[in-house]
Chain A
Amino acid sequence: DAGVTQSPTHLIKTRGQQVTLRCSPKSGHDTVSWYQQALGQGPQFIFQYYEEEERQRGNFPDRFSGHQFPNYSSELNVNALLLGDSALYLCASSLDRRDNSPLHFGNGTRLTVT
């Protein structure tokens, strides 16, 4: 059991569409980070949410946006999908970004853009 749950597990979308991915953090965790893992690559940091605010952001365009809810769950939204957005999207949670709490990852959402 990963503790971090993501939905859906798989998703197929068409170019230009919008998608929303969801994440519930491990119980007791309050920080959520999102990563994109392209085939054959390591995960790339998209952004991190803490106290319902985006605290850090990687090199991703504004088409990628997110939200964190009061219960610490989070959503990742991608607008105007491109073929290159096809990847495994990973959610990771931790207790607090200030206390060196290691990340716990979910199983990911496999997004295919056609």
Chain B
Amino acid sequence: AQSVSQHNHHVILSEAASLELGCNYSYGGTVNLFWYVQYPGQHLQLLLKYFSGDPLVKGIKGFEAEFIKSKFSFNLRKPSVQWSDTAEYFCAVSRGSTLGRLYFGRGTQLTVWP
């Protein structure tokens, strides 16, 4: 069965620390990869996406992610986090060349202390 694993359920960092959130998926075919963020009280918002091409993708607010096909991974990174990055982060995968069903990880709660 298709699954998406996010390794860290809760990450606590101080401002200016570097961030890396892990994401692995189990599907072996063509995939589209996403990171969504949910700020407190707000809707899910797209941070970045990978469909094809350069495996290093840049998103909004200084986030980036690297697709490593051989490791079935799509880890999210940010060199220096801010208090405003406190939110829940979800990795998601869709299969094939069309956008249909999204498979989500269970999410990682990031808390950044000022």
Contact = CB atoms under 8 A, between A and B. Distances in A.
Contact of B102 (A4, A45, A101, A106): A45
Interface residues of B, number: 25
A42 B98 contact: no
A94 B106 contact: no
B43 A98 contact: no
Interface residues of A, number: 29
A90 to B, nearest CB: 7
B43 A4 contact: yes
Main secondary structure of the interface of B (DSSP, over half): strand
A89 interface: no
Highest count of chain A CB atoms <10 Å: which of B36, B42, B100: B100
Interface string B17-61: 000000000000000101010000011111001010000000000
A13 interface: no
Contacts of A58: 101
Nearest to A45: B101
Highest count of chain B CB atoms <10 Å: which of A97, A99, A106: A97
